Chains A and B, each alone.
Chain A
C-alpha cells in the first residue's frame, strides 16, 4: 500500500474512494441515488412537477398569498406528521392521530369556551390527554405485545367517540375570533425584518458548526469536509431562504404558526441526530434485539415515541382549531390521518423503521398541501381530490419499497 507519511486516521484504507472535490460530491450523490438512498430527491422532483402543472392550470397557485395560505395549512398537519415520524422510525404506526387531533381541538373548545377555563390551561390539558393516550398505546404494546396497528385503530374509533361525546348535541363550538389563539392560527405573521434575519440563521449555524467540527476533526487527525463545499452549501441555503422569505413578504409574509412548526422540526431533528435518545430510536427501529442487548431500555423508547406522537397530534389538532376558529365534529376526520402519515413517508421516512428524519415531515407536508391546494384551486370535487391524493401516497410507498429493495442489494440497509 502506498500511503502518505502521516495518514489521517480515517483515510488509511486505500480501498475506499474519497470524494472531496465538488465533482466528487456530485459523483457521491449519484452513487447514493443509484443504490436507493434517495434522500430528498423524490420531494424535489415532486415539487417541481406539482408547481409546473398547477401553475400552468391556474396561475394563482404560485401567487405569494396563496403560498402563505398553504404554509398556514402546512403547520397544522405538519406538526401531526412530526409525531408520525417518531413512531415510523420504530417501525410502528399511529392511526389515531387524526382522532387525537380532533379530540384535542374539542377539548380546547369545551374547556375554554364552554367552561371558561384559561386558554393556557385548556391547551395544557389537551397536551396531557395526548401524552396519556400515547402511554396507553405504549403500555398495550410493551406489556401485552399488542400491535400498534390494532391498538391505534381501536384508538381511532374510541377517541372519535370521546370527541363526539364531549362536543354534545350542538356538535361545534366557535372559538372567539379576537382571541390570541385564533390570531395565531389565522393572522399573525413574523415581522418582515425578523423573517429576513431568521432566514440568515440556518446558513450561519451551518458555517459555524461546520467550522468547529472541522477544527476538532483536524485536531484529532481525521479528515474534514473541505471549506469550499461548506461555504457553497451555506450560501445556496441562505440565498434560497432569503428568496423564499422575500417572495412570501410580497404577500402577507411568513406565518408565525409556520415558524413554530419549523422550530419543532429543528428541535426534533436535533434530538434524533445528536442525542442518545435519537440514536436509540434508530437502533430500536433497525434491530430491536440488538438495541436491547446493548443495554438500551427498549420499552422506554417505545413509550417516548408513542407519547410524543399523540402529544404532537393533540398540538396539531389545536393549531387546526385555531386555523378554523372552531372545534367541530368534523375536526380531525377525513384525510387528516392519512395526510399526516403520507407526509412523513413522502418526505423519506421509511414505513419499515430505522430510516427517516424530522425534515421529512416538513418536506412531505409541503408536497401534500401543494397537491391539495392546487386541486382546490382547480375547483375539483373532493371525490377526485381523495383519489389523486391516494394515488400520490401509493406512489410514495412504492418508491419507498423499491428504494429499500435497492438499498438491500447495494448493502446500505
Chain B
C-alpha cells in the first residue's frame, strides 16, 4: 500500500505498452491499431476530439472493455484485463470523471471504501492516520477527514478521488478529465497534485480537452483521431499543430468550410 518510501518502478522504466490494440463495437471500429507506451514517472496526455476513442481506450485499460485484438504488456508481461477488479489488482487505478464518491460518508470512509482495515472491527484510528499521512504526502488541503464528502469543494473531491486511487499502490493512474469542472485555483491544485503523483514514480495518463492544462503538466501528448494514433507531441508543440493533429490537418470543419466557399466562388464565375 502507499507509503512515502515505496517506489513503484524504476524511473523511466516502461510500465505499460500497447501494441496494435483495436476495439470494435459491431461494425464500428472505436479503436484501430493503437500503440501507447507509459513509463514510470511520466505524465502522458491523451487528447482528441469527441469520438476519437479516448474514453474507449481508458475503459480498455481499466478492464471495463476487452480489446478485440492487439496486445497489452504490463511491467514486461503480456496481460489480459477481464474486469475492473483485475486491472485494479494489477496496479492500474482509474479516477473517472464523475469521481464516484459517497457523499454521505466522510473522507476516511471514502478513501478506504471496499478495502477497510480489519473488516470485523474497523480500525478507525489506523485508517485516519493513514488518510492524514497520504493527504500530507500529496500536500492536499483537506480541512478535516471526518467531514462528509458533501461539504467539500470540487477540487477537494478530486483530491480525495486521486488519493483513494493511490491507496491501493498502483503503478499507473488514469485521470479522466480531472480539471473539467474546476475553477482556476482548484485546477492549479489538481495539476500540482498530478506532478506530485508523477514524482512518486507512478505513470500518469491524463485525458483532457483543455490544451493549457495538458501542456502545463504532460511530458508527452498522444493525439488520437477517429480511433487511430495521430502523432505524439511534446508540450512545446504549438497550439496550431496540436489542433491540426486533433481535428485532422487537411480535413476538418474549418478546411471544409473554406473548400466549400472556394467551390461556390468557382461556380459563380463559371
* Interface, chain A (partner B; CB < 8 A): 9-10, 13, 15-16, 213, 216-217, 220-222, 274-277, 279-280, 282-283, 285-287, 289-291, 293-296, 354-355, 407-408, 410-413
Query: Does B26 lie at the interface of the complex (its beta carbon under 8 Å from any beta carbon of A)?
Result: no
Docked CA distance A293–B132 (Å): 23
In whole angstroms, what is the CA distance A286 to B116 when docked?
Answer: 17
Is there a chain A Cβ closer than 8 Å to B141's Cβ? yes
Q: Which of A277, A286, A410 contacts B105 (CB 8 A)?
A: A286
Partner of A286, one of B99, B102, B125, B129: B102
Work out how many contacts link A and B, with CB atoms closer than 8 A: 109
Within 8 A of A (CB), among B74-113: 84-85, 88, 96, 98-105, 109, 113
- B102:A280 contact, CB within 8 angstroms: no
B143 on the A face (CB < 8 A): yes
Complex Cα spacing A221 to B130, Å:
12
CB distance from A292 to the nearest CB of B (A): 8
- Nearest B residue to A222, CB-CB: B128
Residue of B nearest to A219 (CB): B125
CB distance B125 to A287 under 8 Å?
no
Closest 9 A/B residue pairs (Cβ): A413-B150, A276-B119, A286-B104, A290-B100, A411-B151, A294-B114, A295-B114, A286-B102, A354-B104
Pick the residue among B84, B103, B115, B128 that contacts A293 (CB under 8 A): B84
Contact with A along B105-147 (1 / 0, CB 8 A): 1000100011110011110111011001100100001111110
- B121 contact set on A, CB distance < 8 A: 274-275
Pick the contact of A412: B133, B142, B151 (CB < 8 A): B151
For A407, list chain B residues within 8 Å (CB).
Answer: 150
Are B104's CB and A413's CB within 8 A? yes
Which chain A residue lies CB-closest to B115?
Answer: A295
Known: A16-B144, A287-B101, A291-B102. A9 touches B129 (CB 8 A): yes
Known A15-B143, A295-B88; contact A275-B101, beta-carbon cutoff 8 A: no
Can you sample 16 A-B contacts with CB below 8 Å? A9-B136, A10-B128, A10-B145, A217-B125, A220-B125, A220-B129, A221-B129, A274-B122, A275-B122, A282-B105, A282-B109, A283-B113, A287-B101, A289-B98, A354-B102, A411-B152
Contacts of B248 in A (CB 8 A): none
Given the complex, which residues of A lie within 8 Å of B125, measured CB to CB? 213, 216-217, 220, 222
- Please tell me if B149 contacts chain A, counting CB pairs below 8 Å: yes
Roughly how many angstroms separate A222 CA and B122 CA in the complex, as a whole number? 17
**A109–B175 CA distance with the chains assembled, in angstroms:** 61
> Which chain B residues border A289 with CB–CB below 8 Å?
98, 100
Partner of B103, one of A10, A287, A296: A287
B129 touches A294 (CB 8 A): no
Does B20 interact with chain A (Cβ within 8 Å)? no
Asked if B148 lies at the interface with its beta carbon under 8 angstroms from chain A, I say yes
Interface of B toward A, CB cutoff 8 Å? 84-85, 88, 96, 98-105, 109, 113-116, 119-122, 124-126, 128-129, 132-133, 136, 141-146, 148-152, 164
Check B96–A293 contact: CB distance below 8 A.
yes
Min CB gap B219→A, angstroms:
28
Contact A285 B104, CB 8 Å, known A13-B144, A293-B84: yes
Residues of chain B within 8 A (CB-CB) of A274 are 121-122
B116: min CB distance to chain A, Å: 5
Q: By the criterion CB–CB under 8 Å, are A295 and B150 in contact? A: no
Contact B102 A290 (CB under 8 A): yes
Smallest CB–CB gap between A62 and chain B, Å?
38
State A21–B242 Cα separation when bound (angstroms): 59
Name the residue on A nearest B118 (C-beta): A276
> Chain A contacts of B151 at CB under 8 A?
410-413
Expressed in whole angstroms, the minimum distance between the Cβ of A350 and any Cβ of chain B is: 9
Question: Contact between A280 and B114 (Cβ–Cβ < 8 Å)?
Answer: yes
Contacts of A275 in B (CB 8 A): 119-122
Which single member of B84, B99, B115, B144 contacts A10 (CB below 8 Å)?
Answer: B144
Which residues of chain B have C-beta atoms less than 8 A from A294's C-beta? 100, 113-115, 164
C-alpha spacing A217/B116, complex, angstroms = 18
Q: Which residue of B lies closest to A295 (CB)?
A: B114
Q: Is the CB of B113 within 8 A of A413?
A: no
**What is the minimal beta-carbon distance from A159 to any residue of chain B, in angstroms?**
32
Whether the pair A291, B113 counts as a contact (CB closer than 8 A) is yes
A282 to B128, CA, bound (A): 18
Please, how many angstroms separate the alpha-carbon atoms of A221 and B126 in the complex? 11
Chain A residues near B152 (CB, 8 Å)? Answer: 411
Q: Which residues of B contact A290 (CB under 8 A)?
A: 99-102, 113
Chain A residues closer than 8 Å to B88, beta-carbon distance: 295
A398 to chain B, nearest CB (A): 21
Taken together as a complex, chains A and B put the C-alpha atoms of A290 and B119 apart, in Å, by 19
Task: Find B104's partner among A217, A295, A355, A410 (CB 8 Å cutoff).
Answer: A355
Docked CA distance A355–B99 (Å): 21
A412 to B147, CA, bound (A): 8
Q: Is the CB of B113 within 8 A of A279?
A: yes
A287 to B149, CA, bound (A): 12
Of the candidates B103, B109, B113, B129, the one having the most CB atoms from chain A within 10 angstroms of its own CB is B113
A216 to B117, CA, bound (A): 15
Q: Name the A residues within 8 Å of B109 (CB-CB).
A: 279, 282-283
Additional pairs, 7, CB under 8 Å, beyond known A9-B136, A276-B116? A10-B132, A13-B142, A290-B100, A291-B102, A295-B114, A407-B150, A413-B104
In the complex, what residue of chain B is closest to A13 when comparing beta carbons? B143
B244 → A minimal CB distance (Å):
36
A283 x B141 contact (CB < 8 A) = no
- B residues near A221, Cβ cutoff 8 Å: 129
User: In the complex, which residue of chain B has the Cβ closest to the Cβ of A212?
Assistant: B125
A279 CA / B119 CA spacing, docked (Å)? 9
B151 (CB) vs chain A CBs: closest residue: A411
Report chain B residues within 8 Å CB of A293: 84, 96, 100
Set of chain A residues within 8 Å of B133, measured between Cβ atoms: 9
Chain B residues within an 8 Å CB radius of A411: 148, 150-152
A291 → B minimal CB distance (Å)? 7
Cβ-closest chain A residue relative to B113: A294
